Amino acid sequence: MKSFLLILFSLFLSPDSKATGKAYVWKTLLPLEIRVGDVVVRKGHGTWTQYFINCSSREKRFSHVGIVVSNETQCTIVHSDANEWTGIGAVRLESWHGFYADALECAVFRYIGSENVAKRFATRGMELLGVPFDSTFDMENTNRLYCTEFVRIVINDTLKTNLVGWTSVCDKRVVALDDIYRSGFKRIFDSQWCDTNSVENCKDHRK
């Protein structure tokens, strides 16, 4: 545990991008045709951002994840988060605009199997509303769930298989962001496809 805390501290010291004040058009344009069950990821600039980015072994870009549960009157996302200073939080619902309010990057992933199966991701996620946030990042304790652990359980419980795995960080099992979409999902939108100052550029990629 001591060695894990040391590497955790070093990860926090890694350089990280800060908000630039640019108008990120993807925050107000729902990318493509968002579906229930889509997995959405973001890069923020909070205390835990660089830790989660550095846990990934393939794509070190994103720091938080959720699942789309509604796209009717507005796009609603279920995710597990907490106050970055107290560690207190839970699985909760948030609008697309709230989820991405302070985000620097965005991507959307879609399950490559049946759309009806993907919709069951949303159903399972809603069943876990209110489960406390796991600030100890202990995968053995499923009574508390951190962000990626929550999505992993939702997907694996629904599929009844371990599609989403985990990554070892200093001999501790952690669900990295890129573990979530490593297999079984395709990227249908990425904020890197958009010019931050051009709505037209984003629209071209939405076709």
Q: What's the CA gap between 72 and 76, in Å, rounded?
A: 9
Task: Summarize pLDDT for 110-131 with one digit per residue, the tens.
Answer: 999 999 999 999 999 999 999 9
The pLDDT of residue 192 is 86
Predicted local confidence at residue 14, as pLDDT? 37
Residue 179 CA to residue 152 CA, distance in Å, equals 9
- Position 8 pLDDT exceeds 80: no
In the numeric block, which tokens belong to residue 46? 């909070």
Which helix H or strand E contains 156, and what residues bound it? helix 147-159
pLDDT for 168 equals 92
Mean pLDDT, residues 75-86: 93
- Best mean pLDDT range from 2-6, 43-47, 74-78, 177-181: 177-181
Work out the percent of the chain whose per-residue pLDDT is above 90: 61
pLDDT digits (tens, 9 = 90+) for 83-99: 988 989 999 999 998 99
Q: Which residue has the tokens 């889509």?
A: 38
Q: Distance between CA 184 and CA 47 in Å, rounded?
A: 30
pLDDT, mean of residues 71-89:
91
pLDDT at 19: 41
d(CA 155, CA 164): 7
Which of 23-32, 45-54, 142-151, 185-194 comes out lowest in average pLDDT?
23-32
Residue 139 amino acid letter? M
Q: Residue 92: in which H helix or E strand, if any?
A: strand 89-95
Tokens of 49: 């951002």
Query: Cβ neighbours of residue 206 under 8 Å, at least 6 residues apart?
Result: 29, 31, 32, 189
Q: Is residue 15 within 8 Å of 151, Cβ to Cβ?
A: no
Place of tokens 């959307």: 108
